[in-house]
Every structure is written in structure tokens, then in C-alpha cells.
Amino acid sequence: MDPLTQGGLGASLAQSVSTKASAKIAAIVGFLAGMAADLDFLIHSETDSLLFLEYHRQFTHSLVFIPIGALIVAILMHLVVTRRKGIRFSLVYRFSLFGYATHAFIDACDLPPTSGPV
């Protein structure tokens, strides 16, 4: 699935669990968390050009890693954006968790293209 769709769905689900006052922060955190699982593209090697393909959609897309990945995103977002605005970390983590969780599920629905009519 393309990154904008991943982010958009993450933002939508994060906003669905937010209040009106925190909807904008929920959208930002959910959008970034929805795309965060694809940061596994940063795993690369100068000697092994296929290393990226071996690790793409592996641990960052697993159900077990969702709370951990959401925690990483929440910590970064809290340090960079939300701490100055006085938003509690638990709220940021909730938005991040809902945004990050959408990624694995929408990738599971992403079917490879077929070569012709089905």
C-alpha cells in the first residue's frame, strides 16, 4: 500500500479515539505512526543489495511489534511536538498505537497484482 494511504488511515483511526480538542495532534501522530512501519527501508547494506527485501514487512509489520513501534513513535512525537503543547504522553501513545496498528492490517489486505482478468 502506498505511504499516504497508510498515513491517512492511521490519522483517521487516531482521530476516532480523540476529543475535539486533541483531534489535530491525533491526526499528526496517527499519520506518522501509520507510515512508521515502513521505516524498515532504512535497513540496507553496501555488500548485500537484497538485504532490504529480506527485512521488509518482517518485524516492523508484526502484531507483536505494534506496541513497541507505537511506543517508539510516541516517544519521538512527545519529545519533538506534543510536550511543548502540554499533552500527556499516555494520550500520544494511544494515538500512536491506533495509527501504527493500522499498518500491518492494511498491508495484509494488499494483494499482489494479477497478470490478467480473474
**66-77 and 89-108 are packed helices; what angle lies between their axes, rounded to 10 degrees?**
130
Q: Which residue has the higher pLDDT, 118 or 24?
A: 24
Would you kindly state where each structural domain of the chain is located, as residue ranges? 3-108
Output DSSP code: residue 20. Answer: S
Q: pTM of the entire structure?
A: 0.78
Amino acid letter for position 85: K
Compute how many other C-beta atoms are within 10 angstroms of the C-beta atom of residue 78.
20
Q: Is 39 left (phi over 0), alpha (psi -120 to 50) or beta?
A: alpha
| Model confidence at 28: pLDDT above 70 | yes
Question: Confidence class of residue 15 from pLDDT cuts 50, 70 and 90?
Answer: very high
Amino acid letter for position 2: D
What's the pLDDT score for residue 46? 67
C-alpha distances out from residue 86 to 22, 25, 33, 95, Å: 11, 11, 20, 15
User: What pLDDT digit, counting tens, does each position of 42-79 carry?
Assistant: 665 667 666 666 656 666 777 888 899 999 999 999 99
